[in-house]
Amino acid sequence: MSDMSAGPAAPANGLPRIHTMTFGDLASALNAGFRDFLRAPLFGLVIGGTFALIGVVIVASLTIWQLPWLIYPFAIGFPLVGPFAAVGLYEVSRRLAAGERPSWGDVFGVIWAQRRREVSWMAFVMLFVFWIWMYQVRLLIALFLGLVSFASFEQFLTVVFTTQDGILFLAIGHVVGAVLALVLFSITVISIPLLLEREVDMVTAMITSIKAVFQSPVVMLGWGVFVTLCVLMASLPLFLGLLVVLPVFGHATWHLYRRALPDPASRH
């Protein structure tokens, strides 16, 4: 790992030391993530493919249940749970960095072990935020578009993009969604890989993640926006782009975490 341009912030209340991040760190983390994907592509393709398949199944289910108007907000909010889906990718990157050759047994063993660790509670946090997102979408639709049903996804898009109420719904909905995404990004970008690697409690991990974002706000929020836009674009062709985008960003997030908190502690 290359030398950091800024020194670590003094720890407070037992929190891990945090380095101030630069855009050079983002570029290095992204390059390292891409290299990890190329070194162990099957892990990324399987994990990314599973995530994409879940998205396709849910979209198909919404169509069958005659709720096509939920497809758009679902596609926007679905990436919110991406950080949890990347736990296996973090473990692959951790083993590659340690000079180990990851195996399916080792990776899935670590994923399965998280059910008894603090990472499992973070899954509830992310699902709760996703539930809030979907609930507020239904509320905003009722407020701006009325208690109406849409026969097709195309009809929903037509109403949203061609009427004054639809555009207002779209604007307010995206603002609310951006706030939720900012909150979730701030509490998970560092906390999940931290919980995977070190024995800390969930609250400490979330506070550390928030401090890392606030210590380098432009860099970290820029990373969040960049990842969000790439994931959304990758989701457009039936989530198929996630086969590559999710694993690359998953591996990159691990390297970003190791740059933000460069003093690793063994989990063993």
| Across 236-255, average pLDDT | 88
pLDDT, greater one: 215 or 86: 215
Give the containing element (helix H, strand E) for 19.
strand 18-19
CB contact at 8 A, 213 and 191:
no
CB contact at 8 A, 87 and 111:
yes
- Max CA distance (Å), the chain: 58
Return the structure tokens found at 141: 């639709």
Give the containing element (helix H, strand E) for 268.
none
What percent of the chain clears pLDDT 90, i.e. is strictly above it?
30
Distances (CA, A) of 73 to 61, 132, 169, 177: 14, 12, 12, 9
Does the structure show a pLDDT above 50 at 109? yes
The 8-class DSSP code of residue 266 comes to: -
CA–CA distance, 6 with 128 (Å, rounded to integer): 36
Reported as a pLDDT band with limits 50, 70 and 90, residue 149 is low
Q: What is the pLDDT at residue 80?
A: 65
- SS3 call for 11: coil
Mean pLDDT score across all residues of the chain: 82
Region of residue 63 (phi > 0: left; psi between -120 and 50: alpha; otherwise: beta)? alpha
Selection from 230, 259, 235 nearest residue 78 by Cα = 235
pLDDT, greater one: 89 or 82: 89
Q: Quote the pTM value.
A: 0.80
| Across 46-69, average pLDDT | 78
The 8-class DSSP code of residue 151 comes to: S
CB contact at 8 A, 10 and 48:
no
Does the structure show a pLDDT above 90 at 153? no
